[in-house]
Amino acid sequence: MTIDEQISLLRKGTVDCIPEDELRRKLDRSAKAGKPLRVKAGFDPTAPDIHLGHTVLIRKMRHFQQLGHTVIFLIGDFTGMIGDPSGRSVTRPALTREQIDENAETYKQQIFKLLDRERTEIRFNNEWFSKFGADDFIRLAGKATVAQILEREDFKKRFQSQTPISIHELMYALAQGYDSVALEADVELGGTDQKFNLLMARQIQQAYGVKEPQLIMTTPLLEGLDGVQKMSKSLGNYIGITESPRDMFGKVMSISDDLMWRYYELLTDLSPGEITALKSAAESGERHPRDLKADLARRNVTDFHSQAEADEASGEFDRTFREHQAPSDVPSIEKPAGAIKLVKLLASEGLAPSVSEAQRLIAQGGVRVNGERVNDVKLELGSTSGEALIQVGSRKFLRVVFK
């Protein structure tokens, strides 16, 4: 690739590049010297599973790898015990050593679904902070002022509302900045919510004598399936990268047509020109949005599973939703013949979390029996021998054989 082509790839799906003109200089110097850039991204092991929202940043790491650079997946086992205060209205509870180790191991198992193992350094910042003495931390604390730290929007709001801010939280950005000193980072990547920390890292590098501090690049926070709030496990609007191919495919197919283009931009390696061509095909009627969404779903499943599993998931989706057939592997149970209320059956077999939720699902038209939508919350099944195919929502099926 030419330098312009490399910049186009690296800037795709990013928000900030600070300083803007430094990316070209770093790439050009790296090429002439034959020395790969060191590209850092830090992850606090606060959750054990990665979802597609996390992969926006990891995919950008992969883009650097594809251009021959070294990426550093930094697991903040030390800073994880502080807890990143970014966006927090209260102090984050500190993780235990056991929680950190368990979550870090899960991260290590998952990231190589996207990253090249040979071009990835996995580091832990306890590697250098465990060697810090009290005097080292005092020197680090002297590299920034309280006024600078309180410029953070989250701290500012908490200070104004008299919500407690713990002293150790003030150290988080400084510790993250020292990571860049220890790793000799040329570039640091992070979400837009990390911009303050990333800028602080440049200042910390300069304070420790780094002549050319790191370039920072931020990536946007990916909207979840609802298309409104950021993807989050706590909000239930996420797609986990370890989910089954069928669930992953079905969830991608559930997003809106508008959100689809956002996912194409942030969750695929297609160039901006290729995405524009797909948009034009959709606008002209040459390609149906549903088919383009299926292509997106296949790409996502292939990234985290395989092409064969993506094809199988696509076929199963067509069978279930386009041809209105039941999936080929519907679970089946046997029940003794005798009338049983549908709401009780849904709750007991895990198709609804409770009887009251089952009633709500039926009332909203979300339940079918033998292909027919039901709306009677008092409906009973199994008064005679036979079988019933129950469908809840778009992806939950159960065959009940009454004997």
**Domain 3-219 is of which CATH architecture?**
3-Layer(aba) Sandwich (3.40)
Distance, in Å, from the CA atom of 219 to the CA atom of 223, rounded to the nearest integer, reads: 12
Just give the CATH number of 332-402: 3.10.290.10
Torsion region of 78: left, alpha or beta (phi above 0 gives left; psi -120 to 50 gives alpha):
alpha
So what's the pLDDT on residue 89? 46
CB atoms within 10 A of CB 257: 11
Q: What's the average model confidence in pLDDT over 104-125?
A: 89
Lowest mean pLDDT among 6-10, 132-136, 298-302, 335-339: 335-339
Q: What's the average model confidence in pLDDT over 250-275?
A: 93
Just give the CATH number of 245-322: 1.10.240.10
Collapsing DSSP to helix, strand or coil, 54 comes out as helix
Is residue 74 within 8 Å of residue 179, measured between CB atoms? yes
Residue 290 tokens read as 């549903």
Distance, in Å, from the CA atom of 134 to the CA atom of 347, rounded to the nearest integer, reads: 57
Torsion region of 13: left, alpha or beta (phi above 0 gives left; psi -120 to 50 gives alpha):
left
CB atoms within 10 A of CB 157: 11
Is residue 83 within 8 Å of residue 262, measured between CB atoms? no
So what's the pLDDT on residue 83? 60
One fold for both 3-219 and 332-402?
no
Is residue 343 within 8 Å of residue 362, measured between CB atoms? yes
Q: What's the average model confidence in pLDDT over 210-231?
A: 93
Distance, in Å, from the CA atom of 94 to the CA atom of 377, rounded to the nearest integer, reads: 46
Question: Residue 287 is which amino acid?
Answer: R
Pairing of strands 70-75, 340-341: unpaired
- Split at pLDDT 50, 70, 90, the class of 180 is very high
Q: What are the φ/ψ torsions at residue 66 (nearest 5 degrees)? A: -60, -20
Collapsing DSSP to helix, strand or coil, 355 comes out as helix
| Mean pLDDT value across the chain | 88
- Split at pLDDT 50, 70, 90, the class of 90 is low
Cis, bond preceding 19 (omega within 30 deg of 0): yes
Name the strand (E) or helix (H) holding 402: strand 396-402
Q: What's the average model confidence in pLDDT over 153-162?
A: 80
Q: Which residue has the tokens 């054990």?
A: 48
The domain limits of the chain are 3-219, 245-322, 332-402
Beta-carbon contacts of 362 under 8 Å, excluding residues fewer than 6 positions away, are 342, 343, 374, 375, 376, 377, 379
Note the pLDDT tens digit of each residue in 315-359. 988 877 665 566 667 888 888 888 889 999 999 998 998 999 999
Distance, in Å, from the CA atom of 385 to the CA atom of 335, rounded to the nearest integer, reads: 9
Residue 324 tokens read as 């209105």
pLDDT score of 76 more than 70: yes
Instruction: From 164, 148, 171, 222, select the one nearest 192 (Cα to Cα).
Output: 222
- Split at pLDDT 50, 70, 90, the class of 153 is confident
Lowest mean pLDDT among 80-84, 108-112, 382-386: 80-84
pLDDT score of 92 more than 80: no
So what's the pLDDT on residue 102? 83
Is residue 399 within 8 Å of residue 387, measured between CB atoms? yes
Q: What's the average model confidence in pLDDT over 141-153?
A: 83
Pairing of strands 367-369, 386-392: antiparallel
Lowest mean pLDDT among 16-25, 276-285, 309-318, 377-386: 377-386
